[in-house]
Structure 1
Amino acid sequence: MNFFKYLLLSFLTIFLCIFLSVILDSSLFFTAAFAKSKVLYFSAVAIKPAVNQTQIFSLVQQSQVLYEGGEFTEAVQLLKKAADEFKATNNVLNEAIALTNLSLTYQQLGQWQQANEVISQTIKLLQSIEYSDSSQEQSQVFAQALDVRGGLELAQGQTEVALSTWQSAAKIYQHLDDISALISNHINQAQAMQALGNYLQADHTLTSLRENLQKQPDSPVKARGLYSLGNVLRSLGYLNDSHKILKESYSVAGKVGSANAQSNALLSLGNTARAQIYAQLSLGNSSRAKDYAQTAIQYYEQAVQIGAAIPTVRLQAQLNLLRLLVEQEEVSTAKTLLPQIQSQIDSLPPSRMAVNYRINFAQSLSKMRQSSVEPKDVAKMLAQAVQVAKSLKDQRTESYALGILGELYEQTGQLSDAKGLTQQALVEAESIDAQDIAYQWHWQMGRILQKQSNIPAATDAYSRAYNALKSLRNDLVAINSDVQFSFRESIEPVYRQYVDLLLQLPDNTIQKPDNLIQARQVIESLQLAELDNFFRSPCLLPRVDLDKLVEKEKSTAVIYPIILDNRLEIITRLPGQDIIYRQTAKIPKNILEKTVEQLQKDLPVASREPDVKQRSQKLYDWLIRPIEADLANKGITSLVFVLDGSLRNIPMGILYDQQQQKYLIEKYAISLMPGLQLLSPKSLHNVPLNALVAGVEQKRLIEGKSFPELLNVTQELKQIQSSVKSSKQLLNQEFTKTNLHNQIQSTPFSIVHLATHGQFSSDIEQTYILTWDSLLKVRELDGLLRARGESRPETIELLVLSACKTATGDKRAALGLAGVAVRAGARSTLATLWTIDDESTSEFMGELYRQLDAGITKSQALQHAQLAILAKENRPYFWAPYVLLGNWL
């Protein structure tokens, strides 16, 4: 391969390296503009050049330098010229390559229509060529063009089409035995499968890829493949696996003597450790989070040392290290980095990368306490970034620089300047339809207007931010991995602050029904977004109108508690009338959450009944007392809660009415909805009850976790079988993933009952059910329970998860339970929030199934079973852990 051939297609390889080392690796820290298409594709291939094309060679060389430097607008012009020159000399393959590079460059600029038009032109051009001696090269270029098209399709939400396109490209790579290209292609496919909710398929693809990579001899290609795989595993939430794979990449890079690959691996290892900080904080494990912070710091410091000769890697590692030190409030150490970073940034030539580095640096400086840097100096740095972006004609980056400068002025109270800059940022973002950054400026505008006491205009701005987020479901979850780890900071506040504004009406003003309907819709959308974020998959779609169900079920009310910073609001949907809104006492969020957290700790301890009553009485007064008269006037007997935040971690049945000295379960049948209904409602009446019952009774040690013996599982399963005559049992050694899969696929069970250890967590990797020989993760459970597919479309009416519990200390643990409920494919899920290994469990289950067999609703059956236990044992520990999610009929 002569140098010209290498240069022309190494453009593609450079794109891969730039993307992975700068965009993916920095995604947890780099809040500057990011490319919408976060998937990269291919490596260089030998193409025979035409002779006497020195001038075109120069154009391609210059465009490569411009692209590598982030000067995309100039690169576009040179690539268009090169493509025209190749066309004039009838050099079709090189024309196709230039056009492919042009499409990639348009993607960087966010010019999606142009990128689509160019790649479509490329594919038509390649399809028109008659195969010749260079057919292998033609096939290679065609596969690369398909890869680029797949990335565009994913970026525009056409996930299934993207997967199909990538699969077509993979067949060509397999035929050509192009291992490097196939690695990247399979990584792309796994991301698309994940986005579609095909977790088992995605896991299989990634596992096969890992096994194939490990079989390869040590080489730069293997190091790069492991590195890419490690980054993708992080973006999909497999943080432990990401760490292991990146360690392998670092090891292989060391063996083949690639300092560049080593430093990139260390940079990514730091980012994975950084993601683990977020994960541990969400679980309430602050000490573990600090451990990961120190680990991340060490990786970044190593990346700086090893990558000393690679300016981009060194600077990126230092910026990430600075951001982390600032967050950990290690100010003195952070200050030592400032002059080093400043000198490097000052010497950078104009490029998108230079703009992003300035923004990143400025953001860290603005967050530093006790910093010697004045806000005006930070503003000057951001203003320089704006000017560089303008000179590059890079509207996306210019928008981000303007918006961040506006944010700085917002923080310093210069609201008029902040408003003007934010408006400019919005104009630039919307001119290229960059909704992924436009939503941030709408949100920022809303905050500014609210501070200026212009509530109507602020509400309108929040509405625009909310609508932009709804249009970005695929991008936020499947493409922008940063959002997965900073959801509570970058997404959730938009929803809550918008609801806060919708409910801010003057005293003595009649509440507008439209505002209430919108507020309820926003809260449901937030819960949907939380589940999307939990699964890393925007594939949950509501199918049933909850209001229509309430109108049919005249004795049912739906209650929406909404947790805001300074108060708790209650919206209620009653049959036969509009939504009603009742203001509660001004209960600060921290007081509410502290009460719920302490109650969550007390409930699994049988001896703490007095404490449970005291705290649950407060919650009754906050949640039920304001709407008590409304419920009574309508003759309500069933309550459906759409719970918010930490309230999901406790059963509503334990709320205690001190005046009547009754628990809520003694007054109403209760069920929960995860904010949406995914399956059509259907009563169990006239549905033949046949059950698959399974459990693990014996002590087990699986994946380093010890699970004690459950003494009453056999008795529990016998109680069920005595009420449900048609049943199949899998106990202990028989309860394996394979046997569960085979039984579900072969028989249309209406009930699946699993009596075994399990855990619900806000971390998807810590949400699982114990089988005899493994931990059945929620992603796998989803695949198994939906395994019947088209061949056996019967829906599981009720999934029962007995002896499960929420993760200790996890403030959002019940998110895992909601995740199981909406992805299991069952109409209803009954689960426990804490483990009870007691005879009362088998008694409860026996009564539950007797009630179900009698033909009453599921929520009524649950109520009767709980009351039967309560009559014998008043302590909530024994009767309260059971919650019903989904269809209550």
Structure 2
Amino acid sequence: MTGLQDTMVRAEWLEELLGLPSSEQQLAYLQSANLLDAEGLSKLLDQAMRLARSDPGKARQLTLICALAAQPGSAPGIIPRATYVRAQTHAINGDFTTALELIQSAREEYEAIGEKIEALRTNLGRMHVLNELGRHQEALEAGQTILDALGLGEERHPQSKMMEALALLNQGVIFETIGRYEEALKAYDIAEAQFTGLHSLERIGDVSNNRGIVLVHLGRVSQALEAFEKASQIWAETGLTLSQAQTLSNLGDAHLALGNYTSSLKAFEKARCLFEKLEAQANRSILLRKTADAYLALNLFPEALSVYREAIDLIKQAGMADHHARALWGMGAALIAQGRLEEAEPGLTEAVSLFADADNTPMLCSVMLEQAALQKVCGDQDAALHTTQRALALVNGDTWPVQRLYACLRMADLLLPDAGEAEAYLSEAQHLTTFLNLPVINYRLNSRLGRLRALQQRDREAQPLLEAAVAQIEALRGNLAQEAGRVSFFQDKTAAYEDLIQLHLDRKDTESIKQAFAVAERAKSRALVDLLAGVTTPARHLSKDSVLGNRMEALQADLSATYNRFLDTSESLEETKLLELQDRANRLEQEIGRLRLEAAIGAKEPDPFAAPYSLDDLQSHLPGDLILLAYHIIGSEILAFIIWNGEIEVVRRLSRVATVQDLLQRLTIQMDRFRAGSDFARRHMDLLEKSAQRVLAALYVELIKPLEPWLERGFPLGENIPARLAIVPHGFLHQVPFHALWDGQRYFLEVYEISYALSATIFALCQQRGCHELRHALVMGLADSLIPGVDDEARFVAKQLVDAGAKTNLLIGKEAKRESLDTGASGCDVLHLACHGLFRVDNPMFSALKLSDGWLTAADVLQYGLDDALVTLSACESGRSRVISGDEVIGLPRAFLGAGAAAVLVSLWVVQDETTAALMSHWYEQLRHGVERVAALRKAQLSIRESYPHPYYWAPFVLIGQR
């Protein structure tokens, strides 16, 4: 080891030193290497400074060894230097209070031994820590102290030039934190010139990285990417892991600003993997906040909230004021999107206060615009306008173009449909976009400009603007590899589609109607179309041996236990306890959702998107005698497209949204009356039936009667043969039992053979799937006190399938396990599940079926390979789905179709045990004799109706997909 002090300390030697169990052994090891003197310890501290940027934990250990080894008499400068480097490692780990104390201690120690320049240098550390703590003016003053003390001139010592350049670098960071972007860039330019003269490659990398952050804020994202690339190359050369991770984190921000969502999440994931190996809690906390920002941009609100909460706890504990404010802003936006308005207000107010205290004008403007959005949703238009006007005044001029543009868009949103008032703001926004090429802004502007021109009756100008907006939205969506992101992405982007549909429909000619229908299809269940067309694949299962897999398994066990409590009839839960269970379920679901997103980050890049079928393609896949009835909602209007025999018609203004929503609420009340028990139902059956028929008749008048002249074309020539009809609902109309609507004399089912679809394209894709013979079947049943007849139902279904020649695996009771379903579902021609269902209205991908060893959620189902199977879900509310904006229907039916099923039989409301068993018996008997699925269901329902005339008993089940 002799002479080691004359060379760079080797990594393996350092590992041996740090691995020694006692300080005595460490000192002896230093002695043997001739490093136990001022020169040797100084060399070790040089290494510690480098380690602080690649492995802060090891750096801190090394500083403690050096401080212990230093003799005040022979090496007086070692102790304060070790203290100062240790302060840096505490700051990296988010312990800013300790860091500030150590910096002050180092300063005093330097002053005590007369090292004035080194004492001055500690202001560099103070600048960083004070800035993170939100004490920005103090941080700037600390930097100015350095610059004033060093003076100017070219004859100074290189150490003085380096200190001045570092002060300018830190000054730029502070300017960026408080929104003074141009001043930050000027400081970086001067610092970079000095670092270049000093041949300091690492510090040039710092400048490039920090410059990129500012350029993102200014909307100059392409330049930012170049800056980050330059920094990354430097980190690769120098091996500074922490700096590499920080730049990856910033690169994720840049990709997010461009709408490159998958690239953004991948950059964040790479950064996370690097941070996890280091003691860098501050950076990990910031990365959490940025990841939540990405989830928010994708409308993944539950996952975003979960991550924001975790980030806020860590950031607040560390005292990082700027990142705390940004996280509060993001959480407020996510809460607004979920309609949790009262919860959103306090966080936004606190964010405004923090940004105002920091004098961060652009961020203050951004949060005020979020407050205006909240005021608008709460119905206070005047307050929203006033808040937006104040925000606009803050960013007057060209200093903050991105914030100015968003403020103009917010004002236009508040003023429309007043085209005269809104036009000036949209014109200014259009001017600003000539300098800012940001796809996430471009579609918003084009959508609003298109609406403006339509309101001004300038349709020839409106159409290309709206078409551009739709194309830009779909290009952004094409950047998404994760299926979950594709599902949520359209949630806030339907306005351009609706305005374009309206524009085409107003022209009233056949070609325009076709174009309107094509646009409507582009807005329906696109993520499921991608799955069925093979453009995307579901997220893969997490390995149970991985850290994420173990965490997932534990969370799913907790979630199953929570769901079981919901259905536990042995204990009477108070409302407060139910709310606690609900909150626990929500938090578990959010955490599971996060893990699934993390697992999906490595998914292969998809094709941009699967195009919906054109009308000609669609008609080529439809049976010639089938009528396709596709509803659509535009604003408050309900309309319907009717496609039959190569022709398309549209019927406008069938009804109003509010009218049908009210009727559906009344229908729900009618069906809920059966929860009072069978004795109550028997006593009041005539009254219950007539009450239900009145509501179903009113729905018929609103949704079917105006269509009768067109629907009658589909009647076949033979008598008593039902016409064939496929219904594509839209939005909340997915809740309507169209087959049970009452025309005053008969139910719609008596006249038509009705199947359902989530979109016309999905219907056509399902018809192309193979229709297998009944060769292999899996039947599972799990009875309890609420559904005691389920096991008998499963046995009878299995017998029917065996009689039909199917090799049938029957699993009931304790044998009805998740594990058995996971292994047995693939390769089935028929999958029948008779068990409890739980519909999660607030998180429908966690709607679930109860099995003996746990719950099967909709998200779990997507992992199966069902290969054109027929799936029957004989469970409570198995067919209920939530429809998010963009008509992406999510729930169990969608999940089974996405997993490869050709058709799914599901229930729309809580089903009655005895009649369900009878209906299933009829259904499978018909299938056994070769009857088409939809015809078999119709016959089974009509048969049950003879004994149980109320629709509650015979009408809950619908067939979705292949007929």
With normalisation by structure 1, the TM-score equals 0.69
CA distance in 2, matches of 1:738, 1:612: 41
SS for the counterpart of 2:838 is strand
Q: Counterpart in 2 of 1:795?
A: 867
CA distance 1:118–1:373, change in 2 (3 Å): closer
Two-structure CA RMSD over aligned residues (Å)? 4.8
Q: What is the Cα deviation at residue 720 of structure 1?
A: 1.8
Match of 2:401 among 371, 382, 395: 395
CA distance in 2, matches of 1:545, 1:100: 46
Q: What is the Cα deviation at residue 355 of structure 1?
A: 3.2
CA distance in 2, matches of 1:596, 1:570: 18
Q: Counterpart in 2 of 1:351?
A: 361
1:722 aligns with 2:804: no
Structure 1 segment 45-84 matched on structure 2, within 5 A = 52-84=161-193
Match of 2:242 among 140, 161, 173: 140
CA distance 1:447–1:718, change in 2 (3 Å): same
Match of 2:504 among 502, 505, 508: 502
Structure 1 stretch displaced more, 637-646 or 379-388: 379-388
SS for the counterpart of 2:302 is coil
Match of 2:431 among 409, 427, 433: 427
Q: Counterpart in 2 of 1:738?
A: 819
Match of 2:205 among 74, 92, 96: 96
Match of 2:649 among 564, 571, 580: 580
1:648 aligns with 2:734: yes
Structure 1 segment 288-437 matched on structure 2, within 5 A = 293=342, 300=347, 314-315=353-354, 349=359, 351-356=361-366, 359=369, 381-388=390-397, 390=398, 392=399, 394-407=400-413, 410=416, 413=418, 415-429=419-433, 431-437=435-441
Residue type of the alignment partner of 1:428: L
CA distance in 2, matches of 1:782, 1:432: 40
Given that residues 797 and 921 in structure 2 are in contact (C-alpha distance below 8 angstroms), is that contact kept between their aligned partners in structure 1?
A: yes
1:845 aligns with 2:932: no
CA distance in 2, matches of 1:416, 1:592: 34
Given that residues 690 and 751 in structure 1 are in contact (C-alpha distance below 8 angstroms), is that contact kept between their aligned partners in structure 2?
A: yes
CA distance in 2, matches of 1:103, 1:861: 64
Q: What is the Cα deviation at residue 463 of structure 1?
A: 3.8
Residue type of the alignment partner of 1:570: A
CA distance in 2, matches of 1:96, 1:559: 61
Q: Counterpart in 2 of 1:25?
A: none
Q: What is the Cα deviation at residue 424 of structure 1?
A: 1.6
Given that residues 905 and 957 in structure 2 are in contact (C-alpha distance below 8 angstroms), is that contact kept between their aligned partners in structure 1?
A: yes
CA distance 1:809–1:782, change in 2 (3 Å): closer
Match of 1:517 among 502, 515, 527: 515
SS for the counterpart of 2:915 is helix
Q: Counterpart in 1 of 2:834?
A: 755
Match of 1:117 among 213, 226, 237: 226
Q: What is the Cα deviation at residue 593 of structure 1?
A: 1.9
Given that residues 96 and 122 in structure 1 are in contact (C-alpha distance below 8 angstroms), is that contact kept between their aligned partners in structure 2?
A: yes
Q: What is the Cα deviation at residue 384 of structure 1?
A: 2.0
Q: What is the Cα deviation at residue 853 of structure 1?
A: 3.8
SS for the counterpart of 2:891 is helix
Q: What is the Cα deviation at residue 458 of structure 1?
A: 4.4
Q: What is the Cα deviation at residue 114 of structure 1?
A: 1.4
CA distance 1:590–1:543, change in 2 (3 Å): same
Given that residues 584 and 626 in structure 1 are in contact (C-alpha distance below 8 angstroms), is that contact kept between their aligned partners in structure 2?
A: no
Residue type of the alignment partner of 1:237: P
1:592 aligns with 2:660: yes
CA distance in 2, matches of 1:146, 1:359: 29
1:776 aligns with 2:882: no
Given that residues 264 and 313 in structure 1 are in contact (C-alpha distance below 8 angstroms), is that contact kept between their aligned partners in structure 2?
A: no
Residue type of the alignment partner of 2:663: T
CA distance 1:773–1:127, change in 2 (3 Å): same
Residue type of the alignment partner of 1:799: V
Q: What is the Cα deviation at residue 881 of structure 1?
A: 0.9
CA distance 1:693–1:618, change in 2 (3 Å): same
Residue type of the alignment partner of 1:670: S
Post-superposition CA distance 1:165-202 (Å, at most 9, x none): 5555555445546566567668878998xx8xxxxxxx
CA distance 1:439–1:590, change in 2 (3 Å): same
CA distance 1:115–1:773, change in 2 (3 Å): same
Post-superposition CA distance 1:291-338 (Å, at most 9, x none): x83x666x659x85xxxxxxx66356xxxxxxxxxxxxxxxxxxxxxx
Q: Which runs of 5+ in 1 are unaligned?
A: 19-48, 130-134, 196-230, 282-288, 305-311, 317-343, 700-708, 787-793
Structure 1 segment 803-882 matched on structure 2, within 5 A = 803-805=875-877, 815-817=890-892, 819-882=894-957
Given that residues 649 and 814 in structure 1 are in contact (C-alpha distance below 8 angstroms), is that contact kept between their aligned partners in structure 2?
A: no
CA distance 1:383–1:186, change in 2 (3 Å): closer
Post-superposition CA distance 1:745-795 (Å, at most 9, x none): xx5223322211213344226622222344433223323x25xxxxxxx62
Residue type of the alignment partner of 1:466: V
Larger radius of gyration: 2
CA distance in 2, matches of 1:266, 1:359: 15
Q: What is the Cα deviation at residue 852 of structure 1?
A: 3.2
Residue type of the alignment partner of 2:668: Q
Residue type of the alignment partner of 1:434: L
SS for the counterpart of 1:834 is coil
Post-superposition CA distance 1:386-437 (Å, at most 9, x none): 415x1x1x321121223334445547x5x43521221221231354233433
With normalisation by structure 2, the TM-score equals 0.64
Q: What is the Cα deviation at residue 241 of structure 1?
A: 5.7
SS for the counterpart of 1:842 is helix
CA distance in 2, matches of 1:600, 1:719: 31
1:126 aligns with 2:194: no
Given that residues 674 and 885 in structure 1 are in contact (C-alpha distance below 8 angstroms), is that contact kept between their aligned partners in structure 2?
A: no
Given that residues 403 and 421 in structure 1 are in contact (C-alpha distance below 8 angstroms), is that contact kept between their aligned partners in structure 2?
A: yes
Residue type of the alignment partner of 1:569: L
Residue type of the alignment partner of 1:314: S
CA distance in 2, matches of 1:374, 1:542: 39
Post-superposition CA distance 1:643-675 (Å, at most 9, x none): 11221112221123346x342354223222246
Q: What is the Cα deviation at residue 846 of structure 1?
A: 2.6
CA distance in 2, matches of 1:805, 1:120: 52
Structure 1 stretch displaced more, 394-403 or 177-186: 177-186
CA distance 1:243–1:76, change in 2 (3 Å): closer
SS for the counterpart of 1:826 is coil
Q: Counterpart in 2 of 1:222?
A: none
CA distance 1:265–1:754, change in 2 (3 Å): farther
SS for the counterpart of 1:714 is helix
Q: What is the Cα deviation at residue 152 of structure 1?
A: 4.0
CA distance 1:579–1:83, change in 2 (3 Å): farther
SS for the counterpart of 2:729 is coil
CA distance in 2, matches of 1:362, 1:841: 51
Given that residues 315 and 323 in structure 2 are in contact (C-alpha distance below 8 angstroms), is that contact kept between their aligned partners in structure 1?
A: no
CA distance in 1, matches of 2:293, 2:365: 29
The percent identity for this pair of structures is: 19
CA distance 1:270–1:373, change in 2 (3 Å): closer
Structure 1 stretch displaced more, 628-637 or 830-839: 628-637
Structure 1 segment 196-207 matched on structure 2, within 5 A = none
CA distance 1:669–1:684, change in 2 (3 Å): farther
CA distance in 1, matches of 2:691, 2:469: 43
CA distance 1:97–1:153, change in 2 (3 Å): same
CA distance 1:737–1:14, change in 2 (3 Å): farther
Q: What is the Cα deviation at residue 717 of structure 1?
A: 0.8
CA distance 1:398–1:273, change in 2 (3 Å): closer
Residue type of the alignment partner of 1:671: Y
Given that residues 60 and 78 in structure 1 are in contact (C-alpha distance below 8 angstroms), is that contact kept between their aligned partners in structure 2?
A: yes
CA distance 1:808–1:85, change in 2 (3 Å): same
CA distance in 2, matches of 1:5, 1:689: 78
CA distance 1:516–1:761, change in 2 (3 Å): farther
SS for the counterpart of 2:762 is coil
